[in-house]
Structures are given as C-alpha cells and as structure tokens.
C-alpha cells in the first residue's frame, strides 16, 4: 500500500515579492522567512449559476475567482512589518511608526505541510495581494496563556499570464532525491516563461 498523504500541520512559511505580473510574464524574487506559523484560513470568492432545461437542472456553472485568506502568526519583527508596508521602522530608536493600511502589494506565499506518510508537501500560492496586517485583540494575562497573534489578510488571485497556475504543490519523494528541488520550490525566485 502506498504512503498516506493526509495533510497534517502547517509550517515554514516564506514570502516573496512579485516583481512582474503581466499578461506575458510572471516573476517573483527570492523568498524570505515568515516564521511562527499558526493558521491559514481561506474562503473562496465564488459565484455560481444554475441552468435549467427540460424542466430540470441542466448544469451548475461555478466560478472561483480567488480566495480571501487570513494568516495568523505568533509574532513579526518590526523591520519585516515595515518591509511589508505597514509603516516605517527606525532600528536606532526601535520605533515602528505604523499605519492602519498596507499598500496592497503582491507576494508569492510558500509553506510546508507534513503528511501522515511523512513526505511533506511544499506549496506555492503565486499571487497573494496583501491588504492588511494587524495585531489581534489585546487581553490582560489570566489563568490560561494566550498569544496575541499577528493577523495577515489578503486575497489569493490568478496570475495574469494565462499559462501560470495560481497555486502549485510539490511533494518530497520517498528517497529524498528531489529535496534540493523542493527547497528551491519554496525559497527561490521564480520566472515565467522560464529563462
């Protein structure tokens, strides 16, 4: 019987700025770590139309244009917050001057999930339009410890170039022969068409 591939866990997030996203090209820079992953929840942006012929349902045409996404992490350093557009950080004083808005930049989001069979999946969502970074509600300490998480919101979209899929997934082979390729899939810059 083959290895079981039910997904467990969520870790190793990396984020890469999309530098080109046009009808004829897609490019992302090399990715940086986005550590302390907690959860990622997604909601499809769907529309559907029911078609009736011969007095019965003929077809349901469904279109999913993208996914609203919310990512929760334990912490983010102020320099990275500034880099993602939340404000300006002065390392000399340690002060982050923050805004409520981020400038809706596009990123490629990559991460790893393990499987029951211990052959992890490496994921790449190619266009995340980030539209928010904020801290969750603040609470005084009480009996049970709770981390005030950093919440990143955005929308997964299709790349403009038609031949580039909005997301891709690679799996580590049993003999680890493609491990270097998996790591590159996660961390390296990407260019389409391939150079």
Partner 1 sequence: MIDHEEKIIEALVDIPGLKHVGDTYPEGLADVPSIIVELASDRVVDWRDDKPYLRELEYYLRLYGASKRTMRRILAEMDSRMDAIGYWRIFRREQSDADVKLWNTTYRTNAYNE
Which residues would be at the binding site for partner 1 (CB under 8 A)?
9-12, 35-38, 73-74, 114, 143-145, 147
How many Cα atoms are found within 13 Å in the side-chain-facing hemisphere of 87? 15
Name which of 36 and 164 has its Cβ closer to partner 1.
36
| Residue 140 CB, nearest approach to partner 1 (Å) | 12
119/161 with CB nearer partner 1: 119
As measured in angstroms, the least distance from the Cβ of 39 to partner 1 is: 10
- In whole angstroms, the minimum distance from the beta carbon of 168 to partner 1 comes to 21
Q: Report the residue number, 29 or 37, with the smaller CB distance to partner 1.
A: 37
Nearer to partner 1, 39 or 43 (CB): 39
Question: At closest approach, how far in Å is the CB of 145 from partner 1?
Answer: 5
Contacts of 121 (CB under 8 A, 6+ apart): 5, 7, 112, 113, 114, 115, 169, 170, 171
Range list of β-strands (E), the chain: 7-21, 26-28, 32-33, 37-53, 56-73, 87-90, 95-98, 106-115, 121-135, 150-156, 167-171, 190-192
């Amino acid at each position: 019987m083959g290895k079981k591939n039910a997904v467990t866990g969520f870790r190793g997030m990396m984020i890469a700025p999309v530098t080109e996203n046009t009808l004829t090209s897609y490019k992302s820079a090399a990715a940086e770590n986005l550590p302390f992953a907690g959860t990622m929840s997604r909601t499809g942006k769907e529309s559907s139309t029911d078609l009736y012929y011969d007095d019965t349902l003929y077809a349901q045409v469904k279109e999913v244009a993208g996914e609203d996404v919310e990512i929760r992490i334990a912490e983010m350093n102020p320099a990275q917050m500034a880099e993602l557009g939340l404000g300006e950080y002065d390392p000399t004083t340690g002060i982050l001057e923050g805004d409520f808005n981020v400038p809706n930049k596009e990123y490629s989001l990559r991460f790893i999930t393990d499987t029951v069979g211990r052959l992890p999946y490496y994921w790449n969502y190619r266009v995340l339009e980030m539209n928010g970074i904020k801290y969750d509600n603040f609470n005084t300490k009480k009996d049970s410890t709770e981390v005030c998480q950093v919440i990143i919101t955005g929308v997964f979209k299709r790349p403009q170039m038609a031949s580039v899929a909005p997301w891709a997934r690679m799996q580590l082979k049993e003999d680890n022969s493609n491990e270097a390729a998996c790591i590159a899939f996660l961390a390296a810059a990407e260019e389409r068409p391939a150079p």
